[in-house]
A and B are shown apart, each in its own frame.
Chain A
Amino acid sequence: MVFLASFAAAQGGAEDRRSGYQDMGAALQKMQDDDTANPAMLFVQAGEALWKQKAGASDKACADCHAAGSMKGVAARYPAFTPGSDRPVDLDGRINLCRTTQQKAPAFGPESQELLQLSAYLALQSRGLPIAPPDDARLTPVRAEGEQLFKGRQGQLNLSCADCHDDNAGKSLGGATIPQAHPTGYPIYRLEWQTLGSLKRRLRNCMIGMRAEPFAYDAPEYVALEAYLMQRAKGMTMDAPAVRP
């Protein structure tokens, strides 16, 4: 049984992978599916306004460079290398890169409202698309590092991400179902947070749960973990911006 399950996972059988959406209750699924009940859509609205707002010394808005609709699929792709960078960035990092180099404006702070609003606006445009990490050899070592982080034990409880999300996914941790940790819906409106949060916040949250010290906000480890998780969830459908319990 265990052999069969791991064999199927090695074959990349998409039917064995479950998104957090499938693991949550019907009421929450309904809340997410209804765009007027999904609180993340409030952030999308604000993000759309921000997208069109001029900023920085170059007095340009995102919309001045990027045509409407050109951001389709972008959120399903990152983390990725961008031209002229020697390390990959996640979507939030990419937004800030544009902000500092193109708009010549100060970068948004980590988990700031503006950053979440913009990333929610971008994520919505990839809703329904398959997760498509770029076919880039430079990302291979990054993903390997991410995998190592995912499978390595850390913290006072001596747990790894894989202990819960690979070995015990589908079982309960307290009253909650342990999901398989596929990042299909980020940024998510997490009811426990009562606000929108990024994948980075989710990762920090898990690290605190393992009683490990979270990496600094700008640490490359997050990007490596995200790159591994996106590769792991390759082909799964994006349902961002999602609602999660």
Chain B
Amino acid sequence: MANVLINAPKTARKGETIEVKALILHPMETGFRPGTNGTMIPRNIIQDFIATWNGIEIFRMRMSPAIAANPYVSFFTVASESGTIRFRWSGDNDFSAEGSVTVAVT
């Protein structure tokens, strides 16, 4: 099971800029490292991270092998309406994880 930590303010004023932080447990194996037996460890990274607010995409990031394990992403967005921010990570070996947080906009 994927293990994620998400941090966003529970409430925000309409039009306010809020910071959203998302952390996920993932090895981000580069594919360039030899294992203990000398053979290369196959690449296993998260490729895409997408955040949507009430279904509308607000942030998208394409990840590379150079990103460290357990990637931590922080971004800013404008609070326009109450709703749910959904996060979706997908990557190698059919990796897929989801998380969500609700924000009340007043």
Contacts and interface: CB of A to CB of B under 8 A. Distances in A.
B78 interface: no
A88 interface: no
Given A36-B21, A36-B23, A37-B21, A42 B69 contact: no
Contacts of A89: none
A42 B7 contact: no
Interface string B51-79: 00000000000000000111010000000
Contact of B72 (A35, A37, A43, A195): A37
B89 to A, nearest CB: 13
B5 interface: yes
Given A37-B21, A42-B23, A194 B69 contact: yes
A101 interface: no
B76 to A, nearest CB: 15
A45 B68 contact: no
B3 A37 contact: no
Given A36-B23, A39-B23, A194 B5 contact: no
A180 to B, nearest CB: 27
User: For the side of the interface on B, what is the size category?
Assistant: 10 to 19
A35 B21 CA distance: 11
A41 interface: yes
A36 B69 contact: no
A46 interface: yes
Contacts, number: 36
A195 B3 CA distance: 14
Contact of A42 (B21, B28, B68, B70): B70
A34 B19 CA distance: 14
Contacts of B68: 191, 194
A36 B10 CA distance: 14
Interface in B1-31: 3-7, 21, 23-25, 28
Contacts of B21: 36-37
B3 A36 contact: no
B3 to A, nearest CB: 5
B74 to A, nearest CB: 8
Contacts of B23: 36-37, 39, 41-42
Contacts of A36: 5-7, 21, 23
A34 B22 CA distance: 12
Contacts of A191: 68
B69 A195 contact: yes
Nearest to B68: A194
A46 B4 CA distance: 10
B6 A42 contact: no
Interface in A28-51: 34-37, 39, 41-43, 45-46
A41 B72 CA distance: 12
A113 to B, nearest CB: 10
B72 A42 contact: no
Given A35-B5, A39-B72, A195-B70, 4 more contacts: A36-B5, A42-B3, A46-B25, A194-B70
9 contacts: A36-B5, A37-B72, A41-B5, A42-B24, A42-B70, A194-B28, A194-B68, A194-B69, A195-B69
Interface of A: 34-37, 39, 41-43, 45-46, 191, 194-195
